[in-house]
Structure 1
C-alpha cells in the first residue's frame, strides 16, 4: 500500500491487489480490508503530527458493501481523523474501486494516552507550523 495524498487529518492510499490478498472467491479478502482500516486510519493520525505508535486500538469495524476487486485491481482508501480528544482518537475510512464505487467503509477508535501531536502542519500539509496554530478538530 502506498500513500498518494495527505493533508492534516486525511490521507489517500492505494493498494494493487496481489495473489497474497485474495480469498477463495478470488477477490480481496475481508481481513485485508480490515487490516487496511487500521493502517489507513493510523496514517491519518500521523498526518496530524502524532508519531508512531499512534496508540492502542479500542475498536475497529468494517462494513463490506461489494467485492473489493481481484488480482491486478487497485483499491483506494481515504481515511480521516474525525475527533482527536485528550486520550481517544476517532477515525473513519472509505474504500473505493477503480470505478469510484464504494466497496467498504470502516471506523477505528484508538486510545492514545498521552500521545498528542508533536508537530503541526498548514491546512494543505505542505508547511510545518507551531502547535499553537494547529487547533484540534
Structure 2
C-alpha cells in the first residue's frame, strides 16, 4: 500500500540500525513533530517517546487534553509495532485516563505484549516527570506479512 512504511530492520545488514531507522520513520510523522514529541529510544517491540507539555496541549480545564495523551501513546505504539521490519497498522486502540497531567514532561513507554504472524498487541504507559501514571493505552496491529507462495 503506497505511503506505508516500517523500519525494515530485518533486511540484511540493518540489524544494528534500529535506532537510526526508527528516527527516519519518526521524522516522517509531521503530526508528532508538530505536537512537540521526541523519540527517546526504540528497540524491537519497545519504544519510548516524550512530550513537553505546551499551552496548546491544554483543554478548557487547564489540564492536558485527552487527545494529546492518546496521540502520544499512539506514536509510541506505532514505533514499537513497526520495529520488526514489517508494516503494521492499528486495528484497535483504547486508553484509560488515570489522573490529569498539568505541567512538565510526559513519557510514553510502549511494550509488546503478544506477537504472531499477523497480529501483535501492545501496552503503552504514560507517566509524568514525577513518575505518576497518567494513562494506560492498549493497542493491536495487523502485520502485513508476505503471503506464502501457492503450492502447486
Query: Normalised by the shorter chain, which TM-score bucket?
Result: 0.7 to 0.9
More strand by share: 1
Match of 1:107 in 2: 138
Residues 41-68 of structure 1 show CA distances to partners (whole Å, capped at 9, x for unaligned) of 11012233335xx22x221111111112
How many residue pairs match? The answer is 111
1:89 is displaced (CA, Å) by 1.5
When the two structures are superposed, what TM-score results if normalisation uses the length of structure 2?
A: 0.66
> Aligned pair 1:88/2:119, yes or no?
yes
Structure 2: state its 5+ residue gaps.
Answer: 1-36, 147-152
1:21 is displaced (CA, Å) by 1.2
1:101 is displaced (CA, Å) by 1.1
Q: 2 CA distance for matches of 1:11 and 1:90?
A: 14
Equivalent residue for 1:38, pick from 68, 71, 74 = 74
Q: 1 CA distance for matches of 2:93 and 2:110?
A: 13
Q: 1 CA distance for matches of 2:42 and 2:118?
A: 23
Which portions of structure 1, spanning 4 or more consecutive aligned residues, are displaced by more than 4 angstroms?
none
Give me the CA root mean square deviation: 1.8
Residues 3-57 of structure 1 show CA distances to partners (whole Å, capped at 9, x for unaligned) of 1122221111100111221100111101111122221111012233335xx22x2
Q: 2 CA distance for matches of 1:48 and 1:80?
A: 13
Structure 1: state its 5+ residue gaps.
Answer: 116-137
When the two structures are superposed, what TM-score results if normalisation uses the length of structure 1?
A: 0.73
Q: Which has the higher contact order (CA 8 A, sep 6+)?
A: 1
Equivalent residue for 2:92, pick from 59, 66, 69 = 59
